[in-house]
Structure 1
Amino acid sequence: MDTSTYLNAVVEQTSTLADWVNGGDAATPAPTCPKWTLADLVDHVGATQRMVAMLVGERMTEPSSAFAGYVPAPTDSAQWGAWLTGTAAEAKQAFESVADDTPVWDPSGAAAGVPFWSRRLFGEVCVHRADAAAALGVRYELAPEHAVGAIEDWLDTMTSRGYWENRPDFADAMRGGGQTLHFHATDAPGEWLARREPDMVVLERAHTKADVAVRGPAAELLLVLSRRRPLDAAPTLEIHGDRALLDHWIAHMDWVTDA
């Protein structure tokens, strides 16, 4: 998927999310994001889209101004729908104003800039729409090719040099001696091999034998890897090999504390 495809999907999925949450009870718990309410979830999605729009649109190579530009969601939930569709539109417009090689700060450590953020916004809305579905009791559906894109975002971000360096707790938990995990989507092209090394997690796009392998529908795989669905509640996934290694991996796939 390229930048424009990612942003079109961001707009589409945010529109669905906006329809779900508009006029909702702000205090509704979001069970897949401990300590978050529906209001917190809406605020996070929209504010993140707006801050990334500022980073990209203003071609920032240092992030403090964008973070300082945080704007909270409306307190009136009847305004949430329009607010969310507006932040997604702002993001799309910002990305349309730049090229993929426009210098923009990103936390990955790879200077991926514009392509990093287009995929990150896409992955964000895919996962947080699942959070909203859990909070509201709505059926969550995601096209297999979109789920593969969101898995790619999740795994690539989690194994980035920047994440390793900025999350010492994650780094300590994930240091290894070459242990391997293989993730395989069965309904769309997508395979990843993660190898735990002493100083990083190496991510490859490969089909090979591993210490533990998990395969199944991409959307189910995304929900499990992003800790939105317990492994034991995902009967369509097949697991072969060292289950404890997989459990350890999932236990530490937390993007931020309490989210």
Structure 2
Amino acid sequence: MDTSAHLESFAVQTKTFADWVHDKDPETPVPTCPRWTLADLVSHVGGTQRMVATLVGQRLTDPSAAFAATDTGPADPARWRAWLTETETAATEAFDSVTDDTPVWDPSGADSGVPFWARRLFGEITVHRADAAVAVGARYDVAPEHAVTAIDDWLETLTSPGYAQARPEFVDAIPDTGQSLHFHATDTADGWLVRRKPDLVVLERTHAEADATARGPAAELLQVLTRRRPLDDARTLQLLGDRELFDHWIEHMDWVTD
């Protein structure tokens, strides 16, 4: 997916998310984010979108002003849909005046801020739509190719040099140098291999032998990798090899719920 495709799906998914949460009880717990209520989830989704709108729209290479622009959602849940529509529109329109080469701060360290943030918006709403679905009892569907893109976003971000520096515990998701995990989407041709080097976890888009392999449909693989579904509840997912290593990886991937 390119920047425009990321943004198109982001807009559609945000509308669905907004429809699901509109006028629901703010105190509804979000089981997939145990410390959050539905109000927390709405504020996080809209606040992140507002932050990206500021970051990209103002072409910031220092993120502090964008972090300051993040705010909370309205207290009245009857206003949530309108507020989320506003944040989505602001985020989408921020990309109208930039190109993929426009300098914008990128926390991954890759110096590709505009494509990074378009993909992050897509990945964020794809995963948080799953949170909303569980909280309000909606049906969560994601096409295999979209699930693959969201897995790309999740894994590429968490294994990036920038995140290794900012969150060194992500490197420790694989305890020992040389150990590897393979994630295999069975309904597409996609695969990911993560391998531990001394100070970094590296990601390859490939199929390969590994110490632990999780294989199954992309949508279920996405939910397990992002801690939205326990492995034991993923009926179509198969784990081969070192279960302890796989569990250790999942336990360290607490980026969204932290």
State the TM bucket, normalised to the shorter chain. over 0.9
Residue 86 of structure 1, CA deviation:
1.6
User: Does 1:122 find its partner at 2:122?
Assistant: yes
Which digits, 9 at most, give the CA deviation of each residue in 1:214-235, with x for residues without a partner? 1111110000000000000001
Residue 173 of structure 1, CA deviation:
4.5
CA contact (8 A) 1:175 1:197 kept: no
Residue 46 of structure 1, CA deviation:
0.5
Counterpart for residue 184 of structure 1: 184
Distance in 1 (alpha carbons) for counterparts of 2:63 and 2:239: 40
Residue 71 of structure 1, CA deviation:
2.4
Counterpart for residue 236 of structure 2: 236
SS in 1 for 2:107: coil
CA contact (8 A) 1:145 1:188 kept: yes
SS in 2 for 1:115: helix
Counterpart for residue 83 of structure 1: 83
User: Does 1:2 find its partner at 2:2?
Assistant: yes
User: Does 1:52 find its partner at 2:49?
Assistant: no
Distance in 1 (alpha carbons) for counterparts of 2:101 and 2:170: 30
**Structure 2: which amino acid aligns with 1:166?**
A
Residue 175 of structure 1, CA deviation:
4.7
| Greater displacement, 86-95 / 223-232 | 86-95
Distance in 1 (alpha carbons) for counterparts of 2:42 and 2:168: 29
Q: 1:192-211 maps to which residues of 2 (within 5 A)?
A: 192-211=192-211
Residue 186 of structure 1, CA deviation:
1.4
Distance in 1 (alpha carbons) for counterparts of 2:107 and 2:95: 18
**Structure 2: which amino acid aligns with 1:151?**
I
Counterpart for residue 13 of structure 1: 13
Distance in 2 (alpha carbons) for counterparts of 1:202 and 1:39: 36
SS in 1 for 2:193: strand
Which digits, 9 at most, give the CA deviation of each residue in 1:63-94, with x for residues without a partner? 00111112221111001011112211111111
| Greater displacement, 81-90 / 23-32 | 81-90
User: Are the structure 2 counterparts of residues 172 and 148 from structure 1 closer, same or farther at C-alpha, using a change threshold of 3 Å?
Assistant: closer
**Structure 2: which amino acid aligns with 1:56?**
V
Q: 1:213-252 maps to which residues of 2 (within 5 A)?
A: 213-252=213-252
Matched residues, number: 258
SS in 1 for 2:239: strand
Distance in 2 (alpha carbons) for counterparts of 1:202 and 1:54: 31
SS in 2 for 1:127: helix
Counterpart for residue 36 of structure 2: 36
Counterpart for residue 169 of structure 1: 169
CA contact (8 A) 1:47 1:73 kept: yes
**Cα root mean square deviation, aligned:** 1.1
CA contact (8 A) 1:193 1:205 kept: yes
Q: TM-score, normalised by structure 1?
A: 0.97
Which digits, 9 at most, give the CA deviation of each residue in 1:81-139, with x for residues without a partner? 11112211111111122100000001101112101111111110011111111111212
Which digits, 9 at most, give the CA deviation of each residue in 1:203-250, with x for residues without a partner? 001111111111111110000000000000001011111111111111
Distance in 2 (alpha carbons) for counterparts of 1:136 and 1:173: 31
CA contact (8 A) 1:175 1:198 kept: no
SS in 1 for 2:36: coil
User: Are the structure 2 counterparts of residues 188 and 173 from structure 1 closer, same or farther at C-alpha, using a change threshold of 3 Å?
Assistant: closer
User: Are the structure 2 counterparts of residues 244 and 172 from structure 1 closer, same or farther at C-alpha, using a change threshold of 3 Å?
Assistant: closer
**Structure 1: which amino acid aligns with 2:13?**
Q
User: Does 1:137 find its partner at 2:133?
Assistant: no
**Structure 2: which amino acid aligns with 1:14?**
T
User: Are the structure 2 counterparts of residues 106 and 19 from structure 1 closer, same or farther at C-alpha, using a change threshold of 3 Å?
Assistant: same
Unaligned runs of 5+ in 2: none
